Amino acid sequence: MAAMASLVNGERAVVVLFVARVVYSLPFSLLCHGLSLSLLALAALSLDVLADSSNSFSLFKTRPGASSGILLGAVTLPALMLSKLTQMLRAIAMKEVEVDELEHLTMQYWATSACCLGVLILLYVITWKVPRNMRPNSLHNTWHAKVSLSCIALYIVLCCVSLGTISLTGRLQYGAKVIVDDLSWVGSWEALLVTSGLVLYLGDMLAFTIAKASRLFITAEVVRYGSTRSEIGIIIQGMLLGLLLFPSVFKFVLQIWECLLSKANSESRTYNEIWKSLIFLSSFGFVMVGIIPSWVQFVQDFKMHPLLWVFSFVFSEPLKRLSLCMYWVIVICASVVRFYNISKNSKIERILLRKYYHLMAVSMFLPALIFQPKFLDLAFGAALGVFMALEIVRVWRIWPLGQPVHHFMNAFTDHRDSDILIVSHFSLLLGCALPIWMSSGYNDRPLAPFAGILSLGIGDTMASMVGYKYGVLRWSKTGKKTIEGTAAGITSVLATCSVLLPVLASTGYIVTEDWSSLVVAVTVSGLLEAYTTQLDNAFIPLVFYSLLCL
């Protein structure tokens, strides 16, 4: 009874319901994949319970009041990939896509699952490497550890059997992804989700590069890559890769400069800061304007410089796209100035202040997604690049913007941000952008691209505001989430969908939405928002998107 009681937890119950829904909806041809997801979820559940009932993982810091989140972090991306596989099978049945796309997506599923499995294996090893006085000795903790190890072993066997039936087409990509994914884990389950997702997205650059190089230097087509990417997708991939690698390049250049700078000739601090800023700008320009565009041009065979291609794309419909840009600038400037003044002069809780940015995201992204979806793809990439560049400037305190940006961002931080990185704005932007990016190509679920905007901009915002002002009945004794807020969030999303579907139908979308499935998707994602103690901006849109794709 004690072992069963330890499993009862709102977040775990919702995640198990989510996994069960995904597995139940799988076609027979994906039975092996569904079984692997079930084993992964069971292993993660056992380790999740073990982490919360012992001190085995005490070396990993978590936010005060937050659970380990092992189960949610381990199953979200694999479940998402299974939902995409289900959607891809429907496309193949209708002869909308080639079989190569299915093989490519299958390898992405196994790469993602292997990444999560590697983390679980590491956690299991850590459990038995801790000092004896911290080791779980009780019977039910030992039982959880044994269950986790058994599921891990069965998963490995199942993975080997399944990969043995897949053609050599994607194996090079799989190997590269697993190696990089395993290195991407940094000890936080939210970081596991973000870094694994980014590596999965950016890892295509490595596969594309190897495939292109093999065609140039080897006469036979030894490496065949079974997926294609649009020009916008490749440009965004290259830009994000450059921004992720740039801090290492800048640190290396800065160390060389400091070695060359004689201490005897060192001037005032301001003078050194100016030189540091100049080195930053020159290094940034060299990487982002020279190296990365050259790599992108090599991979995609652009007939012009990628930056010139971006300008050409924007000015191909100047009236619509420039007007949209002006509208975004006006909304951003007005909202940022207003909310920043409120944050300094009012005692309003920061969690509510941050929800105003969710509403701002709805007002910006919803019209663009309906009328200019391709341009919105590019705009999301540009916005993410600006956020990353500003975060680099803030962390390194690059003169003259570093300190002002730091003070401004601190006005909107809370306990969910770390001492070094501020990630809330990244999670909001990615939460809205990822469903849209993942819906590129074949998509027979018109609401799927809106998963982030609906769940974060509408559902999460209404749940917080209504719960804060009118909430009385709490989901748990220790939590702040209320039943009234969750009901408001679910109802608001369903009401928005009832308005959005006719609008999409009038613009040419083929609307075939099943309302029973939609209600399940909205309810499960709403309950996850109510129970989870993790960074919900990262998880809720992916869970909602996965359920919408089924």
Q: 365-387 burial, b if ≥16 CB within 10 A, otherwise e?
A: bbebbbebeebbbbbbbebbbeb
Q: Give the predicted TM-score (pTM) of the model.
A: 0.85
Report the alpha-carbon distance of residue 323 to residue 278 in Å, rounded: 34
Show pLDDT as tens, one digit a residue, over the chain (550 residues): 444 445 667 888 899 999 999 999 998 888 888 888 888 888 888 878 777 666 555 555 555 556 667 888 888 989 999 999 999 888 888 888 777 778 778 878 887 887 777 777 777 777 666 555 555 555 455 655 666 667 777 767 766 666 555 544 443 333 333 333 333 333 445 555 665 666 666 666 777 777 777 666 654 444 455 556 678 888 888 888 888 888 888 877 777 777 766 554 545 555 577 777 888 888 888 888 888 888 888 877 777 888 888 889 988 888 889 999 999 989 888 877 777 676 666 666 666 677 777 888 888 888 888 888 889 999 998 888 888 888 888 888 887 777 887 777 776 666 565 556 777 778 888 888 889 988 887 788 888 999 999 998 899 888 888 888 887 888 877 777 888 989 999 999 999 998 888 888 777 666 666 778 889 999 999 999 888 877 777 789 999 999 998 8
Residue 424 identity? S
Residue 469 has what pLDDT?
83
343 Rama sector, left if φ>0, alpha if ψ -120 to 50, beta otherwise: alpha
Report the alpha-carbon distance of residue 22 to residue 550 in Å, rounded: 7
Helix, coil or strand: residue 474: strand
Residue 101 identity? E
Report the alpha-carbon distance of residue 73 to residue 190 in Å, rounded: 7
Give Rg (Cα) of the chain. Answer: 24
Question: How long is the chain?
Answer: 550
Q: Is 326 exposed, middle or buried (0-12, 13-18, 19+ CB in 10 A)?
A: exposed
Residue 525 has what pLDDT?
92
State the virtual CA torsion across 315, 430, 383, 182 in degrees, nearest 10.
Answer: -110
Instruction: Calculate helix-pair angle for 373-396, 350-371, nearest 10 degrees.
Output: 140
Residue 180 has what pLDDT?
33
Residue 56 has what pLDDT?
55
Residue 545 has what pLDDT?
94
Residue 489 has what pLDDT?
92
